[in-house]
Amino acid sequence: MTATTTTRAATGALQIPVRPRSWPVRLAWAAVAVAIVAAFWDLGIEWSKLASLPSDLAHYTRLMFSDPDWSKLPEALYQTWRSVAMAWTGALLGVVLSTLLGIPAAQGVGPLWVRLPLRWVFAVIRAVPEVVIAIIILTVTGLTPFTGALALAIGGIGTHAKWTYETIESVPQGTSEAVRASGGNVLEVARWGLWPAASPELMSLGLYRFEINVRTSAILGLIGVGGIGDMLTGYTQYREWDTVGVLIIVVIVVTMSIDAVSGRIRRRIMEGAKARDLDRSA
């Protein structure tokens, strides 16, 4: 008797795997298809205009970039600076508040009755776009860049606080357990057990939040809180395409420059942290 025969005799008859049911998958795909068709149907798309879309884009591109009005460049740079200042202020306020609120929301730091309400608040904030937040608070602060900064700060709390407690939860627990075993309270555990290991990634995420705010600040300008978005809306409504072209060029150059510098700093922070860890292990 061979080994295979002996194994079959010991385990019984050969079991044929059950064929998975295909109807739930088909039902799910059918539901997705219906949702897509309903979405396109409800948009009221004029399919006849789609054929002329490439030529229209080429036409307006020529209007904007064939002969830009560079006399508006100083004003465009000033309004871009206001957008960047708005983004930086919102990022600074949001990151500080997110860090203070996100650390106790991490598992193993704050108790359950603290973690759950905080995470619920973060989820609610993430569900509200920054534009809606700005519309709500402008009734109090008015149409000023500070309104945009507050909207960016509040809107950033939902996402950045989630990044914070997820980063804290990914930190090895050895140091924090040692601090806790020596009698440390929650603040001491967070300061000496978690912050040294999590701070490089949290600082990197803070810079990434600033990059996001730079783009969002231009969108907030569309509702009149100032900055390059406000200027872009005004000249677009008056169809001054040569000025719109200058504004778009400024936005692209400034945004790409900030992304490049911020990305380099973030890589330096993370690589420096790894280098220090290697030095300690050696």
Nearest partner of 217 among 207, 232, 227, judged by Cα? 227
- Residues 105, 130 contacting (CB under 8 angstroms): no
Tokens 């759950």 locate to 116
* Tokens at 110, concatenated: 């704050």
pLDDT level of residue 16 (50, 70, 90 thresholds):
low
Location of structure tokens 């509200």: 128
240 within 8 A of 68, measured Cβ to Cβ: no
Is this prediction's pTM over 0.95? Answer: no
Q: What DSSP designation does 238 have?
A: T
Q: Which residues contact 177 (CB under 8 A, 6 or more apart)?
A: 193
23: enclosing H helix or E strand: helix 23-43
pLDDT at position 122: 93
Confidence band for 18, pLDDT divided at 50, 70 and 90: low
Domain boundaries, the chain: 72-281
Structure confidence by residue, pLDDT tens digits, 227-279: 888 888 888 888 888 888 888 899 889 888 988 888 888 888 777 655 455 45
The three-state secondary structure class of 211 is helix
Across residues 5-30, what is the average pLDDT? 65
Residue position matching structure tokens 């000496």: 192
**At residue 130, does pLDDT exceed 80?**
yes
Q: What's the whole-number mean pLDDT along residues 106-120?
A: 86
| Of the candidates 120, 222, 113, the residue with the CA atom closest to the CA atom of residue 161 | 120
pLDDT at 24: 76
pLDDT averaged over the chain?
Answer: 80
Joined together, the tokens standing for residue 95 give 């990151």
Instruction: Please give the Cα distance from 48 to 163 (Å, whole number).
Output: 45
Tokens of 58: 């080429």
Of 172-176, 220-224, 235-239, the range with the highest mean pLDDT is 235-239
What does the buried/exposed string (b/e) look like for 134-158 if buried means 16 or more CB atoms within 10 Å of the residue's CB?
beebbeebeeebbbbbbbbbbbbbb
Rounded to whole angstroms, how far apart are CA atoms 231 and 75?
Answer: 9
Q: Which residue has the higher pLDDT, 278 or 126?
A: 126
Q: What is the pLDDT of residues 80-98, one digit of tens each?
A: 898 889 889 999 999 999 9
Per-residue model confidence (pLDDT) at position 175: 65
CATH tag for 72-281 (out of 2.40.30.10, 1.10.540.10, 1.10.3720.10, 3.30.540.10): 1.10.3720.10
273 vs 186, 191, 198, 216, 267, CA distance in Å? Answer: 25, 17, 10, 30, 10
Q: Are 228 and 247 in contact (CB under 8 A)?
A: yes
Measured distance CA(58)–CA(55) in Å, rounded: 5
Tell me the mean pLDDT in the region 49-71: 82
